[in-house]
Amino acid sequence: MVVVGAGPAGLMAAEAAATVGARVTLRDQRRSFGRVLLLAGRSGLNLTHDEPLEQLLGRYSDGRELVEPAIRAFPPSAVRTWADELGADTFVGSSGRVFPAAMRATALVRAWLARLTELGVRFESGTPWTGFDDTSERTVLALGGASWPLVGGDGSWVTAFAASDIAVDPLVASNAGVDVEWSAALLERFEGTPLKNVAVSVGGRTVRGEPTITASGLEGGPIYALNPQIRVALAGGQPWLEIDLQPDFTEAGLAQRFADRRRPKDSLATWFRRVGLQPVAVAIIREATGNQPPTNPGDLAALAKAVPLPLQCLASIRRAISSAGGVVAGEVDESGMLHRRPGTWVAGEMLAWDAPTGGYLIQACLSTGRRAGAAAAGLRAG
């Protein structure tokens, strides 16, 4: 059998099939394997998330039905055991994210490829999948979405699927940054700086965390988590987000603090620092007011609790962490096999589920990859 795509879904499909004795060829269009995983590991690889299973399944807001049985069969505890057996020595971070001790993916990918070699998997690099053919060979497709085409896939498989009348929801950026037009002055000092312990609100939802200022806008957990609300806000013509720079204070409490901590000779910057605002937060206040922040404690507190930032658009899918959209639930059976293409399975981000960052993405890719690989091998055995 053939597995195409050497991301977490394809590598796991190959492992699951080879473990039960299938002869597996693993193909990828790239010259090396697991490149998206290696990229993901640069900022600390979250393999899965440690929380009650029901809560974890609730993270898959779109397409939960596509991943739930697979995750129940290969849940986070199993992912940790699997990774630990590869020497990852996983641990749970304070936010529930599960990391390999090395934080990066390099050692894990190396050990994984060695395990696949031991299991007899054949590797064929530089071999793009260009469409369905009429071979009778069982195939698992794990071609990913359309984010980071420089290292992974570009979603061009969608065309071949459409030609075969397989319904695919359009691939759109998910867990993407948002574009904000910063002034050159702000960027010069604060590009790459995180806004620590703030709360971001869009469309009635608020998420706490540490968004980071980038050349084109804001990146990071709270922004990614708010992608659905940002999409709605952009579509509805109300493209604003608000940043609460002091979420641990009520507005009245913060106004009192501004009043208490003012000294007659203080510059604005010194006064703000006494209140506990980090320099980047002060710069955001200046940015939002055209460098004319109010000087009255009450007005300042109101502003600091909800600094408005106009949004331009979600960052391009080419820079997003993942893609939403993909093959819809009605097109596959419970093992991920395509109804219209018996003998071809689909796994990982190609399926139309979506989830936030924090380990949920790789978890779903590993689980659906395992399901597809085992089913494809099982068919052979049967």
Q: Binding residues for ligand FAD, how many (CB under 6 A)?
A: 39
How many CB atoms are closer than 10 A to CB 35? Answer: 19
Contacting residue, 1, 2, 3, 6, with ligand FAD by CB under 6 A = 6
How many CB atoms are closer than 10 A to CB 311? Answer: 19
In the complex with ligand FAD, which residue's Cβ is closer, 129 or 272? 129
| Amino acid letter, residue 251 | E
Contacting residue, 38, 46, 60, 271, with ligand FAD by CB under 6 A = 46
Contacting residue, 1, 3, 5, 138, with ligand FAD by CB under 6 A = 5
In the complex with ligand FAD, which residue's Cβ is closer, 26 or 281? 26
CB of 215 to ligand FAD, least distance (A): 16
The reply to whether 4 sits near ligand FAD by the rule CB under 6 A is yes
The reply to whether 209 sits near ligand FAD by the rule CB under 6 A is no
Contacting residue, 177, 349, 352, 374, with ligand FAD by CB under 6 A = 349
Q: Degrees (nearest 5) of the Cα angle 151, 79, 3? A: 45
The interface region with ligand FAD, picked from 25-33, 176-184, 204-212, 217-225 by CB under 6 A, is 25-33
The reply to whether 8 sits near ligand FAD by the rule CB under 6 A is yes
The reply to whether 152 sits near ligand FAD by the rule CB under 6 A is yes
CB of 36 to ligand FAD, least distance (A): 3
The reply to whether 103 sits near ligand FAD by the rule CB under 6 A is no
The reply to whether 9 sits near ligand FAD by the rule CB under 6 A is yes
Angle between helices 268-275 and 251-260 (to 10 degrees): 130
Q: Degrees (nearest 5) of the Cα angle 284, 285, 291? A: 105
Q: How far is CA 63 from CA 95, 244, 369, in A?
A: 24, 32, 16
Can you read off the two tokens belonging to residue 47? 């393999």
Query: How far apart, in whole angstroms, are the C-alpha atoms of residue 354 and residue 349?
Result: 8
Q: Which DSSP string do the residues of 178-227 spell out, in sequence order?
A: EE----HHHHHHHTT-B-TTEEEEETTEEEEE--EEETTEEESHHHHHTH
| Residues in CB range of 335: below 8 A, 6 or more apart | 345, 371, 372, 374, 375
CB of 212 to ligand FAD, least distance (A): 13
Can you read off the two tokens belonging to residue 26? 């693993």
The reply to whether 14 sits near ligand FAD by the rule CB under 6 A is no
Task: Specify whether the CB–CB gap between 173 and 147 falls below 8 A.
Answer: yes
In the complex with ligand FAD, which residue's Cβ is closer, 78 or 302? 78
Could you say which residues in the range 279-338 bind ligand FAD, by CB under 6 A? Answer: 321-322
Residues of this chain that interact with ligand FAD (CB under 6 A) are 4-10, 27-30, 35-37, 39-40, 43, 45-46, 128-129, 142-144, 147-148, 152-153, 157, 321-322, 348-349, 357, 359-362, 365
